[in-house]
Amino acid sequence: MRIRRLEVWVVPMRVREPYAIAYEIVEDATNVFLRLETDRFVGYGCAAPDAHVTGETVESVERILRETVEPRVVGENLFRWGLILEDLRLRLREHSSARAALDMALLDLFGKSCGVPIWQLLGGYRDSIETSVTVGILPEAETVHAARKFVARGFRCLKLKGGLDVDDDVSRVLRVREALGAGVELRFDANQGYTFDDTVRFVDGARKADLELIEQPTAASETALLGRVTTAVDLPVMADESLKTTLDAFRLAEGELVDLVNVKVMKVGGLAVALQIDAVARIGGIQTMVGCFDESEVGIAAGLAFALARPNVAYADLDGHLDLIGDPAAGSLRLRDGVLLAPTAPGLGVAVDEA
């Protein structure tokens, strides 16, 4: 089955409620969509470039998909998708979300050609997974209000953002715990905003909040410091920005530097690499969380397929689609009381409005 055509288009989307993290305020998200066509099926992918994490721009992703990917894939046998990805690996090395878009479009086609959902082709370990939902950096009263709203919608796991002020962060997480009681899981993400001493002080101060984990408290470039934090605190520590490649996963596991890793399909360059990283993590005794950027349900569906497929995936943070206005794949995924349910349609299980 040959790939006959490739199309690329850009979709600007707005975030319904802008939010703050340690290093930026997020008000909008622009995704680059990819469409692959055979004589029988159409496969979709999307890229969510993030200058802070992937180093890409919308323009660079659009250009490399047209100029590098299109000449390589058009006319190629779909069932040699592994060869296609490997052949483009080095040329797309600095374009992880572009690689992710190609990876998911190929797998979407592959699943449709087999008549099977991707989450089953990759392992089919579970058919649903709970997702956390993110509360950005807000004043204390607004943080509690946002948390209560999410719980009222059925979510039972919240990720609270911080990293700008330790004392303020401690106060906010304690207030949220007091407001919600013990029936809701709370996670905390400092987005590289802390020093070693800050992290220790936060963990000590927030102890009564009974947090489930702390994510990337220190700078991504200082993995040894992250290891010091893991040794010093009694709260599970997760790497996010410190993990972009399989080699990163190996170094984190070999040095016993973290307890958990956050694997984002856009960040690592697709499902094929995500599976490799998860395998390394599992060998090293590290559990995986599947995360996301602000991305279309096409991208979230790829992350969900990974989360449902593999037994080492213990957590999901797949909420990046929930607040987007203008997503052409909106309504494709099923969410019930904070739990994402497995798609039943072949491939990624998404429908994309190209109008």
DSSP calls for 171-199: HHHHHHHHHH-TTSEEEEE-TT---HHHH
Contacts of 307 (CB under 8 A, 6+ apart): 129, 290, 313, 316, 318, 340
Closest CA to 22 of 147, 198, 260: 198
Contacts of 61 (CB under 8 A, 6+ apart): 32, 47, 49, 95, 97, 98, 101
φ and ψ at residue 231, rounded to 5 degrees: -70, -35
Note if 159 is an active site residue.
Answer: no
Give me the amino acid identity at 43. Answer: G
CA distance 195 to 281: 25
3-state SS, 48-61, equals CCCCCCCCCCHHHH
Query: What residues pair up with 158 in beta bridges, in sequence order?
Result: 133, 186
Contact between 67 and 91 under an 8 Å Cβ cutoff? The reply is no
Of the residues 112, 159, 244, 264, which is catalytic? 264
Note if 264 is an active site residue.
Answer: yes
Of the residues 161, 208, 244, 267, which is catalytic? 161
What is the edge-to-edge ordering of all strands in the sheet holding 339-341? 128-130, 339-341, 334-336
**CB hemisphere CA count around 161 (13 angstroms):** 19
Q: Which residues are catalytic?
A: 161, 264
